[in-house]
Amino acid sequence: MDAVLQKFQHLKIQLEDIKEATNDFNDKKNRIGRGGFGNVYKGELSHYMGRSMVAIKRLNLDSRNLQGTPEFLKEIMTLTRG
C-alpha cells in the first residue's frame, strides 16, 4: 500500500486546507453527496494557479466498513489516470 500512496504524493493537500475549504466537513452547508464509503463535500481550494471548486470525498473509517480503504484507493487511482 505504501507504493500506491507514494504514487499520489503530488496530489497531497494539507488537512487544514481541506477543513477550511469544507467548513470543517459541514454536513448542512457543504455535503453534496453520500456514498457507501463516506460523504462528499464541496469546497474551494487555493493553489499555484488560483482557486478551484473541488469535491472532497471523506472516507468513513467505521469498523463495520473495512472494505472502504482499498475501494477508496481504487477510486483515486481511477480518477487520476492520465
pLDDT digits (tens, 9 = 90+) for 55-80: 998 988 765 666 677 887 788 788 77
Query: For residues 17 and 41, is the Cβ–Cβ distance under 8 A?
Result: no
Assign 48 a pLDDT band (cuts: 50, 70, 90).
Answer: confident
Domains located in the chain, CATH noted: 2-79 (3.30.200.20)
- Tell me what the mean pLDDT of segment 37-52 comes to: 90
Beta strands in 1-80 (DSSP E): 31-35, 38-47, 50-59
d(CA 68, CA 29): 25
Q: Record the cell numbers describing residue 19, joined without a space.
A: 477543513
Q: Which residues are annotated as a binding site for ATP?
A: 57
Phi first, then psi: give them for residue 68, nearest 5 degrees. Answer: -60, -40
Q: Which residues are annotated as a binding site?
A: 57
Is the confidence at residue 2, as pLDDT, over 90?
Answer: no
CA distance to 12, 58, 67, per residue, from 19 (Å): 14, 11, 25
Is the confidence at residue 24, as pLDDT, over 80?
Answer: yes
